[in-house]
C-alpha cells in the first residue's frame, strides 16, 4: 500500500494541534478526544503515521474541521491591506532603480551555493552538522562538506541526506543539482514571463499544475496541490486542512520577486504575497514578504543592516515573526560568538518544527547580521544551525551574493542547473540573470 505523506487527515491532526498551540487557540478538548482514540502527536519529522492509522480518518477529518473553525486571538492578518495597515513603516513604491547584472547574477550564484552547502546535512541536528564538519577539518565551515576522510563511526552516527549527498559533497558536485529551493525560483520567473508583473495567485496555481510535479512538493505545498486537484480555490487552498501553513515553503519561493523590483521592497513584498497566499497564512506569508523585501534591497544596498531593516518593514510589528527576527538581529549584533547566537535561537525556538518559518527566518537574519557581508561566514552560519539547512543557506546566500555582486570562487560550480521543470534543465545562471533583468520593468 502506498502511504502518501503530508496529506492524509490522520497524519495532519497532530500538526494542527501543534499549530493551534502556537497561534493561541485552546484545542485541549479536541486533543483529548484525539488521544483517547489512539491518535498521535505531531512527529518531529513531517510525514506519514504508523501503518493502521487510517482507521482514525473519519475522526481526523471531523477534528480538522473543528480546529479550522476556531479563530486565533493573535493580531496576525493575512489580507494584504490589513498587513500594510499594520506596518507603520511600510515602504512607499520606488520603481525605476537599476540593478547591475553582477548583482542579479550574484543573487543566483549565492542562492545556488548556499543551497548546495546545506543539502547533504538537511534534516540533521546542529550537533550532527558540527561533528561532520569537525571530523573532516571543516570547522568553522569554510568549504563544501565531504565524506573523504570521515571516520566510519561519525558517518554512522550522522548519516548524510542520501538523496542529496550524491551530488552535493565536494567530491561529487558537477554543476548545480536540482532542489526545490531552486525550482521555486524558476517557477517565479516563469509566472512573470508568462503573465507579466500583474500575475495573480490563480496564475501561480495554474503554473504549478502545468509544470510542477506533485512529487516535488512538500508539506504546505503538497496540501495546497491536493486541494487544487480537489477543486478548492485559492486562498482557501492555504487553509483547508493545511497545518503547515506557517512553515517555510513560501519563504523559499520569494527571491525572484525581490530581484525584479530592485530598491522597491514594498512592491517586492506584494508580489511575494500573491504567491504565498496559495499555500500559507500569517507568519508563513510574512516570511515570504520579508525575504522578497530583503532581496529587492540587496540589489541596491551597501550593508546587511539595511537589508534586514527593509525586510522587517513589511512584517507586522505585532507578529511572532517580527519579534523573532528583531531579537535574532539584536543578538547577532551584540554577540561576537555566533555559537552563542545559535544557543539563544534554539532556546527560544527549539520547540518549533525544523522547517517552520519563524525559527528559520530568525536564523537567516542572525546569519546575515553576524556575517556582516562575508559570504562564507554568512552561509556557514545559516547551515550550522541544523534547521532547514539548504533553505536557510540558499536565502542567506542569495542576499549576500546580490549585496556583493558575486560569490568567492570556491563557491562557484559548473554553470548548469539541473531541473525537472520544462525548459530549465541544464540552464546557466548567466541566462537566468539576463531573463530576470528583463522582468524588472514593464
The reply, when asked if residue 391 is annotated as ligand binding, is yes
Position 377 scores a pLDDT of 98
The Cα–Cα gap between 194 and 186 comes to: 12
Q: What is the pTM of this model?
A: 0.97
- pLDDT at position 441, please? 77
Residue 17 main-chain phi, psi, to 5 deg: -65, -40
Task: Identify the burial level of 228 via C-beta atoms within 10 angstroms of its C-beta, where 0-12 means exposed, 13-18 middle and 19 or more buried.
Answer: middle
The pLDDT assigned to 155 comes to 96
H or E stretch at 308: helix 304-312
Q: What domains does the chain contain, in order, with CATH numbers?
A: 9-68 (no CATH), 80-116+177-438 (1.10.4080.10)
**Closest C-alpha to 30, from 42, 14, 46:** 14
3-class DSSP assignment, residue 77: coil
* Residue 65 annotated as binding site: no
For cell 546575515, name the residue: 368
At 163 the pLDDT is 81
Distances in Å between the Cα of 226 and the Cα atoms of 77, 181, 236 are: 24, 20, 12
pLDDT along the chain (442 residues), means of 10: 80 96 97 95 64 85 97 97 98 88 98 98 97 98 98 97 90 97 98 98 98 94 98 98 98 98 97 98 98 98 98 98 98 98 98 97 98 98 98 98 98 98 97 97 73
Ramachandran angles phi, psi of 427, nearest 5°: -70, 150
255 assigned ligand-binding residue: no
Amino acid at each position: 500500500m502506498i502511504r502518501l505523506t503530508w496529506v492524509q487527515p490522520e497524519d495532519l491532526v497532530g500538526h494542527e494541534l501543534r499549530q493551534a498551540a502556537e497561534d493561541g487557540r485552546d484545542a485541549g478538548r479536541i486533543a483529548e478526544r484525539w488521544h483517547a482514540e489512539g491518535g498521535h502527536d505531531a512527529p518531529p519529522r513531517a510525514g506519514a503515521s504508523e501503518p493502521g492509522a487510517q482507521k482514525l480518518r473519519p475522526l481526523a477529518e471531523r477534528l480538522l474541521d473543528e480546529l479550522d473553525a476556531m479563530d486565533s486571538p493573535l493580531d496576525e492578518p493575512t489580507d494584504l491591506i490589513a498587513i500594510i495597515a499594520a506596518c507603520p513603516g511600510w515602504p512607499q513604491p520606488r520603481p525605476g532603480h537599476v540593478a547591475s547584472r553582477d548583482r542579479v547574477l550574484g543573487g543566483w550564484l549565492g542562492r545556488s551555493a548556499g543551497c548546495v552547502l546545506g543539502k547533504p546535512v538537511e534534516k540533521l541536528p546542529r550537533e550532527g552538522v558540527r561533528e561532520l564538519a569537525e571530523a573532516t577539518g571543516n570547522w568553522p565551515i569554510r568549504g563544501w562538506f565531504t565524506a573523504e576522510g570521515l571516520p566510519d563511526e561519525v558517518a554512522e552516527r550522522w548519516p548524510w541526506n542520501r538523496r542529496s549527498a550524491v551530488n552535493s559533497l565536494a567530491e561529487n558536485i558537477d554543476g548545480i543539482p536540482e532542489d526545490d529551493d531552486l525550482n521555486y525560483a524558476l517557477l517565479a520567473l516563469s509566472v512573470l514571463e508568462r503573465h507579466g508583473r500583474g500575475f495573480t495567485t490563480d496564475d501561480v496555481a495554474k503554473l504549478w499544475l502545468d509544470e510542477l510535479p506533485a512529487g516535488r512538493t512538500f508539506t504546505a505545498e503538497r496540501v495546497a496541490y491536493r486541494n487544487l486537484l480537489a477543486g478548492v480555490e485559492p486562498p482557501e487552498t492555504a487553509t483547508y486542512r493545511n497545518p503547515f501553513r506557517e512553515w517555510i515553503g513560501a519563504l523559499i519561493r520569494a527571491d525572484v520577486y525581490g530581484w525584479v523590483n530592485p530598491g522597491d521592497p514594498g512592491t517586492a513584498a506584494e508580489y511575494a504575497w500573491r504567491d504565498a497566499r496559495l499555500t500559507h497564512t500569517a507568519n508563513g506569508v510574512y516570511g515570504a514578504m520579508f525575504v522578497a523585501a530583503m532581496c529587492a534591497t540587496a540589489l541596491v544596498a551597501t550593508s546587511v543592516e539595511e537589508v534586514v531593516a527593509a525586510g522587517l518593514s513589511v512584517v507586522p510589528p505585532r507578529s511572532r515573526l517580527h519579534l523573532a527576527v528583531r531579537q535574532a538581529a539584536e543578538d547577532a549584533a551584540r554577540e561576537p560568538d555566533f555559537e552563542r547566537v545559535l544557543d539563544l535561537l534554539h532556546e527560544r525556538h527549539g520547540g518549533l518544527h525544523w522547517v517552520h518559518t519563524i525559527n528559520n527566518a530568525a536564523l537567516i537574519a542572525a546569519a546575515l547580521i553576524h556575517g556582516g557581508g562575508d559570504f562564507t561566514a554568512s552561509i556557514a552560519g545559516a547551515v550550522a544551525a541544523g534547521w532547514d539547512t539548504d533553505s536557510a543557506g540558499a536565502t542567506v546566500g542569495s542576499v549576500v551574493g546580490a549585496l556583493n555582486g558575486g560569490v568567492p570562487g570556491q563557491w562557484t560550480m559548473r554553470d548548469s542547473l539541473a531541473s525537472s521543470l520544462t525548459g530549465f534543465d541544464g540552464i546557466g545562471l548567466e541566462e537566468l540573470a539576463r531573463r530576470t533583468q528583463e522582468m524588472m520593468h514593464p
